[in-house]
């Protein structure tokens, strides 16, 4: 059986905490309405569940089971994070020319088959050679709660990667949206031996630097794989206002890796020539703004997919090898 390896190039339904979430949603009032609607729907569907019960995971399991029954595409999978089982949706390559796979992490108050962003990406990337596995994150009480659940999220990313490797795919990219992008940043900054070849951060923001032991900027400085930082011009304030801070942090990582000559993963870049380029184009980092896009990229998911697949083609495309040789 052939195995997909990295190319060696030469060049949901949770109840939001309004006090913590509202300041982050200044630019997208529709998002607040969607969260309220989703929460109301959950209360109607599960009137007997209390907030305490949602914290122990039973609510997520029931909602995931409902998602499984309602899937219109993709293969439902139940993986294990060493503490409990969790739901994921796997979509195989549809192009006939497999390039790798993408692990997808959704935003807070979302799920692995969210109609905005998540479902379009998980179903459209396979048309371009990228299998996908969309992972259910643990219950998050607020946009910053991922830091309290980071160890569980790390295990879920590892479980998804193991699942892909068991299916012969070793060229793996990590993609996160919103809170999922924050959790992915924390994961990659701490686990340099992870089987991840590239990172796509959609709507990655920087909140209060004092809200967790290590800020997003500090974490970006430690990531040693190519990064695509993509967001909408009408995205949330803590995303659009901190774009340059993220780029400058990524430059520190790029310069450090270049000076130490540990540039294996950086040689993937067909765009960057040196770490002295303008801040959107370092060897390891590319920042793209989609004009007119909101946090949910409503009406712009086709362009989002195009930008992502174009970047993947240059930075992370894999090749097939014959493991029998």
Of 219, 283, 229, 215, whose CA–CA distance to 254 is shortest?
A: 283
The pLDDT assigned to 179 comes to: 95
The pLDDT assigned to 98 comes to: 94
The pLDDT assigned to 122 comes to: 96
Please tell me the CATH code under which domain 2-322 is placed.
3.40.50.1820
Mean pLDDT, range 279-308, rounded to an integer: 86
Any idea where the domains of the chain sit in the sequence? 2-322
Say which residue, 49 or 101, is predicted with more confidence.
Answer: 101
| Beta-strand pair 130-135/85-91 | antiparallel
Mean pLDDT, range 114-138, rounded to an integer: 96
Say which residue, 107 or 323, is predicted with more confidence.
Answer: 107
The pLDDT assigned to 117 comes to: 96
Of the candidate ranges 60-64, 91-95, 164-168, 184-188, the one whose mean pLDDT is the lowest: 60-64
What does the alpha-carbon distance between residue 138 and residue 86 come to, in Å, rounded to a whole number?
A: 8
Mean pLDDT, range 52-56, rounded to an integer: 42
Mean pLDDT, range 136-145, rounded to an integer: 86
Question: In the structure encoding, which two tokens stand for residue 247, read together?
Answer: 């780029």
How open is the CA angle 236-222-157, to the nearest 5 degrees? Answer: 70
Of 214, 225, 221, whose CA–CA distance to 251 is shortest?
A: 221
The pLDDT assigned to 212 comes to: 55
4-42 pLDDT, tens digit each: 656 543 324 333 343 333 333 344 445 444 443 443 344
Mean pLDDT, range 239-264, rounded to an integer: 73
The pLDDT assigned to 190 comes to: 93
pLDDT range class, residue 250, cuts 50, 70, 90: confident
The pLDDT assigned to 145 comes to: 87
Q: How far apart are the first and last CA of the chain?
A: 11
What does the alpha-carbon distance between residue 221 and residue 243 come to, in Å, rounded to a whole number?
A: 14
167-223 pLDDT, tens digit each: 999 999 999 999 999 999 999 999 888 999 999 999 999 886 555 557 898 999 888
Task: Tell me what the pLDDT averaged over the chain comes to.
Answer: 77
Say which residue, 144 or 259, is predicted with more confidence.
Answer: 144
Provide CB contacts within 8 A for 94, sequence distance 6+: 126, 127
pLDDT range class, residue 44, cuts 50, 70, 90: very low
pLDDT range class, residue 65, cuts 50, 70, 90: confident
259-268 own/partner pairs: CB under 8 Å, 24+ apart: 262/224, 265/197, 265/198, 265/224, 265/225, 265/226, 266/226, 267/8, 267/9, 267/10, 267/11, 268/7, 268/9, 268/197, 268/198, 268/226, 268/314, 268/315, 268/316
Give percent of the chain with pLDDT exceeding 90: 49
pLDDT range class, residue 113, cuts 50, 70, 90: very high
How open is the CA angle 22-139-165, to the nearest 5 degrees? Answer: 125
SS3 label, residue 176: strand
Whether 130 shows a pLDDT value over 90: the answer reads: yes
The pLDDT assigned to 90 comes to: 98
Say which residue, 226 or 142, is predicted with more confidence.
Answer: 226
Whether 321 shows a pLDDT value over 60: the answer reads: no
Distances (CA, A) of 36 to 48, 108, 180: 18, 13, 20
pLDDT range class, residue 324, cuts 50, 70, 90: very low
SS3 label, residue 41: helix
């Amino acid at each position: 059986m052939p195995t997909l390896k990295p190319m060696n190039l030469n060049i949901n339904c949770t109840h939001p905490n309004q006090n913590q979430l509202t300041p982050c949603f200044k630019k997208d009032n529709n998002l607040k309405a969607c969260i309220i609607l989703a929460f109301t729907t959950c209360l109607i569907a599960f009137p007997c569940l209390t907030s305490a019960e949602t914290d122990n995971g039973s609510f997520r399991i029931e909602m995931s089971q409902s998602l499984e029954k309602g899937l219109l595409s993709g293969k439902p999978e139940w993986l294990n994070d060493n503490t409990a089982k969790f739901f994921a949706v796997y979509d195989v390559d549809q192009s006939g020319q497999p390039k790798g796979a993408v692990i997808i992490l959704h935003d807070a108050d979302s799920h692995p088959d969210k109609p905005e962003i998540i479902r379009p990406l998980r179903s459209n990337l396979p048309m371009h050679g990228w299998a996908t596995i969309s992972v259910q994150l643990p219950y998050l009480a607020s946009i910053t709660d991922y830091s309290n659940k980071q160890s569980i999220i790390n295990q879920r990313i590892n479980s998804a990667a193991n699942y892909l490797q068991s299916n012969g795919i070793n060229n793996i990219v990590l993609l996160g949206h919103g809170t999922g992008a924050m959790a992915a940043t924390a994961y990659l900054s701490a686990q340099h031996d992870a089987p991840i070849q590239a990172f796509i951060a959609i709507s990655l923001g920087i909140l209060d630097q004092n809200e967790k032991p290590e800020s997003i900027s500090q974490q970006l400085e430690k990531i040693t794989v190519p990064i695509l930082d993509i967001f909408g011009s009408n995205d949330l304030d803590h995303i659009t206002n901190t774009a340059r801070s993220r780029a400058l942090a990524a430059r520190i990582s790029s310069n450090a890796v270049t000076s130490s000559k540990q540039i294996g993963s950086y040689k993937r870049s067909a765009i960057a020539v040196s770490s002295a380029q303008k801040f959107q184009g370092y060897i390891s980092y590319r920042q793209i703004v989609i004009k007119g896009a909101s946090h949910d990229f409503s009406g712009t998911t086709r362009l989002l997919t195009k930008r992502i697949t174009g970047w993947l083609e240059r930075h992370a495309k894999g090749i097939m090898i014959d493991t029998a040789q």
